[in-house]
Structure 1
Amino acid sequence: MSLNTATLTITPEILALIAELDEFKGAWRALGTLAPERLSALRRVATIESIGSSTRIEGSRLTDSEVADLLGRLEIKKFDTRDEQEVAGYAEAMETIFAHADAIELTENHIRQLHCDLLRYSAKDERHRGEYKTTHNHVSAFDAEGREIGVVFETATPFETPRRMAELVSWTRDALEENALHPILIAALFTVVFLEIHPFQDGNGRLSRVLTTLLLLRSGYAYVPFSSLESVIEQSKEGYYLALRATQTTIRKDAPDWQPWVVYFLRALQKQKQRLEAKIQRERILIESLPDLSVQILELAKAHGHLSIGQLLHLTGANRNTIKKHLRMLVKDHHLVQHGKGKGTWYGRG
């Protein structure tokens, strides 16, 4: 399949949005002044939001606090409700992406494996984990009692699905390798076509968001795990579905209308970036409010890797009790981590 991208008009708004995202992508490396503990906290909050939002978009009822509680006991590997099963599977799939994105190329085998991971704990999905659909799964509307009242959108047939997935993956890999489009636009088109195919019996929405994250990470947008795109989508769910349908109904025509979805996708990425910027700014204000000696200790810890109280006495010229007081506060506020006890104690950035 060769997607007809000639009908995608690169408007001034699209150019401006891409430039804004790329500027932040480049600036992200300079944010290493944040303590690793602070970055870890940002990522944990974003992960909880992403898991909660992505599963709620598909009908889960778990709140973010309930998701956080569940993540604290993932080692149990036993989940009673479908909501819990979906949250546990999504959490493991996302952690796989965060940890190994560089090694996970976009292939059909990897997509199937991620689908298996996503539904690992879903007992009712055991038969079709990692397998393309064998029956129609059109997107339908339901009434308050859960009765289907009509088909909203017709997806690819089970017969068409293997061919169309092979073509979509091939087009995406070629487009990325040849720089045929900006990688964010390639991710946008992959996502909307993937959802139009709806290749699996269940889990397509959640898997599309996992794959979006994978494509962004592999294209160098390393900040993505620290701010939840799924949360942005959940809070603009009506616009999300309107943009999807506006583009999806044209994909099989000679002149697809990519504009509605691409603009929505870029604006969602912009919102994700803006939320992270706001969080980083709050962290910077917190750092700037620290006493001069605390800031000096943080800078020395960053430069040396780890420091003992004896080293800090020599490097700062401050007295022992003052240094201990500042270290206690820095550890308490997660700017530094204390290692060991007694004479062997040392402090580092994480």
Structure 2
Amino acid sequence: MARIQKPADFAVLLKQYGLEIFELARTYKAIDDKGRYLHWDEFRRYPSPGVNKEAAWAAIKMSRALGSKTLELRSECDSPFFLSTTDFCDAVIHAVESVTSRLGGAKASSPQYRDNTRYLVDSLMMEEAISSAQLEGAATTRKVAKDMLGKERLPLDDDERMILNNYHLMQHAKYNKDENLSVALICEFQAIATAGIEEADARPGQVRDSDDIFVGGAGDEVVHQPPKAALLPARLEALCRFANDCHDGHEGRHFIHPVVKATILHFMMGYEHPFRDGNGRTARCLFYWFMLKSGYWPFEYISISTLLKEAPMQYGRSYIYTQTDAFDLTYFVTYQLRVIERAMHEFMEYFEAKRRESVELMSWLDTFELNNELNYRQGHFLKKVLQHPGRIFTPKELTHDYDISENTARKDLEKLVGMKLLFKVQEGKGFLYLAREDAEANLKKRQRRS
């Protein structure tokens, strides 16, 4: 990453350029004419013939200060973090609300909807687990990762272990969504993220007690030196208070939208860097935890790590912009909302494709006159059986794929055995189920008999 130029202090610019700043304030606002919230490192590169760029930058800073709110969170040097919101931020927040309302309404009102989408839960959580691990450098392919998670086999190396840990991390975030944030819970998240990883001195679940840690950039460049270990207990407690406090805009309290607040928690965990390993994964877990806690249930399925992985340099730059410009969190929040917007768009495309798939599947079942005999989940599994003759299935695999009990999974398998679509084969004390080569022919025979 190219070195980012830090802007001059506003007080210095005000003293140097005085009235010129106020004249430029008529033209230079918090965002530019394209809606961008530019950092000085970007702004200085745009041609502006005849304009004093430092004075123009000071005008921008003045405009931003008028529309910002100061947070109770503070940097290590005791400067407060602050935040502005732009029209772009408001637009993405509105989109999050719309998607949640649309899907939440359907989910709440239609048992068939719940049944038809339930089997997606684990596969989408797996996607987030895999992407989050790949962001940290894991190289295992999605195909191998999904095979490992679906069959619940033991990981073969640290890459696979990291992916499995992230999956468990997402489940733990969901399980604890009704809890207040505590240092203990943060440590639980990190312990799950790093469990079993062969990393020297990783210390899962333990806050670091030394200062020999930094975030590096290109070459030997240090782009972030986290707060000193001695300060971490108090700083983490302050972060928990911020997470648990009400920011509803009433009785003099700031209003911070939950989506923005979740993003701030993500940033702060990266800033504090309280662990020797797994800080990024823990930061993303806090984001998901707070989104689920705040009722935005689609984020159980929406993967931000997939997109963060595509542009890790931009992700890192959004951190640096905040730290080099007086701890203005707007840079990171804006970047993260851009990622959320793309992630929601991709999720809705996926959702609509699955909805169409649902309609097609029910129509397909109708051709075999099975609509009254098989539910959606069983029909979906039947299609997989027909597509993979000779493949072995187990109750545990169905339990994982469809979020059902092992007893229900066994009943589904036995039902297809009775329909002559699966063979039941004993192996030790248990049974395996083999997709029959003549399964489709047997279905057609049943149809003719009926």
TM-score (norm 2): 0.60
Deviation, structure 1 residue 117: 1.8
Aligned to 1:263: 334
- Richer in helix (by share): 1
- State the partner residue of 2:161: 85
SS in 2 for 1:44: helix
Measure, in 1, the Cα distance between the counterparts of 2:368 and 2:283: 53
Give the unaligned 5+ runs of structure 1: 144-148, 296-320, 346-350
Find the aligned partners of 1:278 and 1:134 in 2 and give their Cα distance.
46
2:271 aligned residue: 196
- Matched length: 307
Flag the 1:69–1:180 CA change in 2: closer, same or farther, 3 A: same
Who is 1:315 aligned against? none
Q: 2:229 is matched with which residue?
A: 158
**Residue in structure 1 matched with residue 43 of structure 2 by the alignment:** none
CA displacement, residues 258-313 of structure 1 (integer Å, 9 cap, x when unaligned) = 22111111111111211121112112333445677979xxxxxxxxxxxxxxxxxx
- 1:333 pairs with 2:384: no
Partner Cα distance (1:239, 1:285) in 2: 35
Aligned mates of 1:332, 1:291 — CA distance in 2? 8
1:62 and 1:8 map into 2 onto residues whose CA distance is: 38
Separation (CA, whole Å) in 2 of partners of 1:291 and 1:44: 22
Measure the CA separation in 2 of the matches of 1:117 and 1:29: 29
Identify the residue that residue 244 of structure 1 maps to in structure 2.
319
- Any idea what SS the aligned residue of 1:324 has? coil
Q: 1:212 to 1:323 in 2, by over 3 A?
A: same
CA RMSD of aligned residues (A): 3.3
Contact 1:175 1:186 in 2 (8 A): no
Contact 1:53–1:230 under 8 Å retained in 2? yes
Is the Cα–Cα contact under 8 Å of residues 139 and 154 in structure 1 kept in the other structure? yes
2: distance between equivalents of 1:286 and 1:36?
A: 15
* Uncovered stretches (5+) of structure 2, i.e. residues with no partner: 1-70, 75-79, 384-408, 420-450
Name which structure has the greater RCO, CA cutoff 8 Å, separation 6+: 1
The Cα offsets for residues 204-226 of structure 1, whole Å up to 9 and x where unpaired, read as 00111111110000000101122
**Distance in 2, Cα, partners of 1:41 & 1:128:** 36
The question of 1:283 aligning with 2:354 is answered yes
Output the CA distance in 1 between the equivalents of 2:299 and 2:182.
Answer: 21
Post-superposition Cα deviations, 1:164-221, rounded to whole Å, max 9, x if no partner, equal: 1111111221144767311111111121122111011110001111111100000001
Deviates more, 1:282-291 or 1:156-165: 282-291
Pair 1:71-2:142 in alignment: no
Are 2:129 and 1:43 equivalent residues in the alignment? Answer: no
C-alpha spacing 1:124/1:181, structure 2 compared with 1 (3 Å) = same
The alpha-carbon distance between structure 1 residues 197 and 278, as it changes in their structure 2 partners (threshold 3 A), is same
Q: How does 1:1-350 map to 2 (within 5 A)?
A: 2-3=72-73, 7-32=82-107, 35-36=113-114, 38-74=116-152, 76=154, 79-98=155-174, 100-124=175-199, 128-135=203-210, 136-141=212-217, 149-176=220-247, 180-250=255-325, 253=326, 256-289=327-360, 323-324=369-370, 327=373, 331-333=378-380, 341=415
